[in-house]
Structures are given as structure tokens and as C-alpha cells.
Chains A and B, each alone.
Chain A
């Protein structure tokens, strides 16, 4: 657009015209009106936007690259990748649950109802669900819990049982436990009472394995818990998937900024979180 400080041609959600991009292009830059934006505790915010038809094709584990407003007098020059917490296709809404930690998320937190959020997506490779599984285990720590929302929703919709182990500093930071309760069983483990210790989580996982309620593992948010699941997954031959983060620039593949290390048959390789992930095979991921 002429006169704009940064040229772009986003699809404006709510505009009467059909999406400008041909349908074979799976993602797009879109301007999405904020419909709800509330604090859920002292650090986490819940953001709901009205999304474009293309954005609503997002699958569990995929992400959007968000252009956050600046929280200060400077400008933000990178987008911020953000996984999706919930999708409400009936109402055309996408929800994010994020932790205010840096400039990007602090800027994001300034958005008001009615403001437009510029999102690029849906991007990346998400979680895979095998309908033959009868029961899966999702293990999330902190804000990583949010990323496991959509796969839990999908499992429930496919009559696959879910046990959600939600790890947090204290009860205030166990997010979305009511949401996960709709999908299956919830076990909260906390730092305050020591239940979040890796040994204890291992006991819980071992119990689920013994009860044959662990056909697949899913995790996000903690390297220690990822390593635990990877070890148990390997010992018991349970397939697993991990959603990973990395400093990202383009979010689309070309720039090779967001690489992480993977190991296949003893050979190390780098993969891009934005396009080869953010969800990866647990046994191939090295961790962070």
C-alpha cells in the first residue's frame, strides 16, 4: 500500500471481498479484529481474534507469526511466533494464550478489543493423531500447556482418550485445566507441593503406561519433561511428538534462523522449527 511505512497487502477479516489469494496458497497475511483480550493470571493473557477462512484451517500444533504492536517508543522488527490455544470454527475465532515475557508479548498485551492483529499463517507442521490410538498423554509445562490444547480437542473429537499432565509453578499458573477436563483426565503437578518433580511425573507416566493408557506422548514447554518422555517413550516403544521453540525471523522457511538439532541413526542434523516443525518426532529431537 502506498504511503504505509511497511508495504503489505493483508486480507482484512470482515471485509466483504473474497480472499485475494488463490486457494492453492495455504497461508496468508491477515488483519484480524480482537474480540476478547483478558489477563488469566498475573503473567498470562488470553487473546481471541476473529480469523479469516484460511486462518481457520489451522491444525493442532501449527502456529501464526504475529506482528505485535510495540510496547515502547521503538519499533518491533520481527514478528513473534505463537501457537494456537483453541479454535472455534463455528464462531470463526482463533484463541491464543501467551505469557508476557519480552518486548513482543508485552506489546501484544496492549491490543484492545476492536484493534486489528496482523497474523501470518497458518504455518508449520503440527501434531499428528493416529485414530487407532485409544489413549494419549499430553504433558505441558507453563505456557507450553496452551500448545497442547488443540491436539487434546482433536483427540476427544476422535474418541481418543486424553490424560493431560499440567505442570506449573503454583495453582494460579495451571492454565486451562477446565478446558482440558472437557477433553479427558487432568493431573496438575506443582512446584509448590513438589509434585512437579521429574521423579513424580515419571511415576505418573509409568502408571499410565502400566494401565495401557499411553499409546502416544505429546509434550511442550519443558526440556526436562521432554527428556523424561523421550526416555520412557524409547524404553516402552511409545511414539511421541514434541512442539519446539526457537528464535525465528521469517517464519516461512527461507531464512534458516530457527534451526534446532536433531539426531537420526547417530547422525546430527539441523531442522527449521518454522517449516519442518514446530512439532517434531520426540526420538529425533535432541532438546534445548
Chain B
């Protein structure tokens, strides 16, 4: 028996696998037992209705996909009247993801959403497709600090912040978020990209730029998780391109306490469940009594002397 439970700060999860925001809704009950997930992560909600970006909203690329959905939402009122009760039909903790246009808007959203029937507040300061130029708070340490400081003061509930891989230096942004009082970091959102349709000479998606996700980005994000984990004390949730058990293991070895899965659900809707089962199997086979023991277990020695390494056995 492997103990699959993990703790993201004060939040206890039955296993470390949860969906990424925007890749989950109770619609997935069509194909899976939602109660098996570590947590439920709702799609980002804004105060008012947003139609979202013009279609086509996604395209496949080698290594994954590029999307620009544009955070469509029916607004906060609908979220609490309809969506939250719908999520509460299921048992895993509910993470609400919020977005705002200004720092004041974020603060007010945090206050109003956190007081509702949710367990964790995820602050999406990193959606690259909300602003057509890809700009957002998470690109800068000082903006991240300012917004997270205000949000922190609004609630005692756990606050997670979703960081951007598009920041020049994600480590200083991570430290700013920690300093401002975030309880955990979600590393990371999608990478801003552009795909051009070579038949039409037009961008492949309606909003021109989109966020790249899928297995192609995983090594970049694993590296960021590792770097952030070295620099902060708060837990990290790894998010980016997990499509198989070993990918989840890698994120945990890099320093993640839990993981989020997005793209895989699009390809294989039973994928999250297969990863939960496979992770347990993997731990049992490798003699890990607790999945939590994987967190940060990467062996991080100084590089070998080059001639010695070149004379060593392979693997």
C-alpha cells in the first residue's frame, strides 16, 4: 500500500493529481469518476460575463497545442449560483481560479470569491491570452508582489498563485509571491506562441498569439519547478505537459508537491485516472511507501569533472 496523500500547505489531497484550470469542469463526469481526483480546479472566473476570444481557439502543434480561449466566463454571480453547487456534488477540494483586469479588481474578486463555498483560491495572474500582447502581472516581480499582497489580506483561505513561464526570471517572481504571502505556487501557465497557417498565411488561431502547452513544454517547466523549489519554502504544484506517469514523477523529483494535468485530458480523457493508478503502482514498484517522498528527491550533485564523466559507464 502506497500512501498517496499529499499536503499542499494546509490543504490535504487524497493524491497529488488534479486538473489544470481551464481543462476541467463537471462535464468530465461524462467519462470519469471525478471523486478520484486530488482536487477540482475550476475554470477562471471574472466578475462580469466575458465572451472569450474569436475562434478558431486552438490548434495542434508538434509537441502539443496552442490555444487562445480568452477566459470566457459567465461571471461571479453565475459561478456561485450554478457552478459551485454543481462542483459540490463531488468530494475533492474545490480550487476557484480568479482573474481581474486591474489590481483593485483582483483584490475585490479575491475577497468576493474567497468568502464563497470554495476551499482554495488560485490567482491567475498569468493567462497569456487575456491580453492580445500577452501581458500580465506574473511577468514582473513587483506587480506580482503588489497584487498578491492585497489579495493575501482579503482572506484566510489558502491562496495559490499561477505563475507565468513567460517571465524573464520566474524565480524572482516566485520569491515575490512568497513574500506577499502566497501559500503555494502553480508553476506554470502556458508559453506564449504563434502558429501560422502556411495555406492561408494567417495565424492559425483567431487571437493571433496563443499559449503553448503539452509534452513539448515539459522540460522547460520542470526546470522552472526545480529552480523555484530551490528558492522558496512554500509548496509548488507542477503544471505543464504531463502525459504519463513518469512525467508526474519528474515534476515531483524536481520539487513539486502535487501536479496539474491539462492537455492529456484532451487526448485521453481517462488519462488523469491512469496517472493516479500508475503513480501508485510506480511507487510500489520502486519501494516508496509515500508518494510525498518523491518531492524534491532529484539527486542534485555538482557536475562531475568532464574527463571522469566521459570515462564513466552510460546511465
* Interface residue ranges, A against B (CB under 8 Å): 1-2, 4-10, 21-22, 25-29, 67, 74-79, 118, 120, 123, 246-247, 249-260, 270, 275
With A254-B27, A256-B57 as contacts: A74 and B271 at CB distance below 8 Å: no
- B266 contacts which chain A residues (CB < 8 A)? 78-79, 249-251, 255
The listed residue (B72, B244, B282) touching A4 by CB distance below 8 A is B244
- A21 contacts which chain B residues (CB < 8 A)? 31-33
* Nearest-neighbor residue (CB-CB) of B66 within chain A: A77
- State whether A255 touches B69 (Cβ < 8 A): yes
- State whether B273 touches A25 (Cβ < 8 A): no
Beyond A25-B31, A249-B67, A252-B30, 10 additional pairs, beta carbon < 8 A: A5-B244, A6-B271, A7-B245, A9-B274, A77-B267, A247-B56, A251-B266, A253-B28, A254-B24, A256-B72
Sorted nearest first, the 6 A-B pairs with minimum C-beta distance are A253-B27, A8-B268, A77-B60, A7-B274, A254-B25, A9-B274
- State whether B31 touches A252 (Cβ < 8 A): yes
Closest Cβ of chain A to B65, distance in Å, is 6
Give CA–CA (A201, B31) in the complex, Å.
41
- State whether B55 touches A252 (Cβ < 8 A): no
The listed residue (A6, A79, A120) touching B264 by CB distance below 8 A is A6
Q: List 7 A-B contacts (CB under 8 A).
A: A9-B273, A250-B23, A250-B265, A254-B19, A254-B43, A255-B67, A256-B22
* Nearest-neighbor residue (CB-CB) of A28 within chain B: B31
Is B135 part of the contact surface with A, judged by Cβ < 8 Å?
no
With A79-B267, A253-B25 as contacts: A27 and B30 at CB distance below 8 Å: yes
- State whether A7 touches B269 (Cβ < 8 A): no
- B271 contacts which chain A residues (CB < 8 A)? 6-9
- B245 contacts which chain A residues (CB < 8 A)? 2, 7
Is B270 part of the contact surface with A, judged by Cβ < 8 Å?
yes
Give CA–CA (A29, B264) in the complex, Å.
13
- A251 contacts which chain B residues (CB < 8 A)? 266
- B29 contacts which chain A residues (CB < 8 A)? 25
- State whether A75 touches B62 (Cβ < 8 A): yes
- State whether B55 touches A26 (Cβ < 8 A): no
| Number of B interface residues in the complex (CB < 8 A) | 50
* Nearest-neighbor residue (CB-CB) of B55 within chain A: A259
Give CA–CA (A270, B64) in the complex, Å.
26
Q: Mark B238-281, 1 if CB is under 8 A from A, else 0.
A: 00000111100000000000000001111111110111011001
Give CA–CA (A6, B22) in the complex, Å.
20
Closest Cβ of chain A to B26, distance in Å, is 8
With A7-B271, A77-B64, A275-B27 as contacts: A25 and B32 at CB distance below 8 Å: yes
Give CA–CA (A74, B63) in the complex, Å.
9
Is B61 part of the contact surface with A, judged by Cβ < 8 Å?
yes
With A256-B69, A256-B72 as contacts: A29 and B268 at CB distance below 8 Å: yes
- B214 contacts which chain A residues (CB < 8 A)? 77
Closest Cβ of chain A to B206, distance in Å, is 10
Residue from the set A1, A75, A255, A259 with the largest chain B CB neighbour count within 10 Å: A255
Is B203 part of the contact surface with A, judged by Cβ < 8 Å?
no
The listed residue (B60, B69, B270) touching A78 by CB distance below 8 A is B60
**Residues in B55-99 with C-beta less than 8 Å from chain A:** 55-65, 67, 69, 72
The listed residue (A9, A22, A247, A275) touching B270 by CB distance below 8 A is A9
- B244 contacts which chain A residues (CB < 8 A)? 2, 4-7
Closest Cβ of chain B to A260, distance in Å, is 8
Give CA–CA (A246, B264) in the complex, Å.
20
- State whether A254 touches B72 (Cβ < 8 A): no
- State whether B58 touches A259 (Cβ < 8 A): no
- A120 contacts which chain B residues (CB < 8 A)? 31, 269
- State whether B60 touches A254 (Cβ < 8 A): no
With A28-B31, A252-B30 as contacts: A78 and B267 at CB distance below 8 Å: yes
- B267 contacts which chain A residues (CB < 8 A)? 6, 8, 67, 77-79
- B23 contacts which chain A residues (CB < 8 A)? 250, 254-255
- A77 contacts which chain B residues (CB < 8 A)? 60-65, 214, 263, 267
- State whether A29 touches B269 (Cβ < 8 A): yes
- State whether B65 touches A249 (Cβ < 8 A): yes
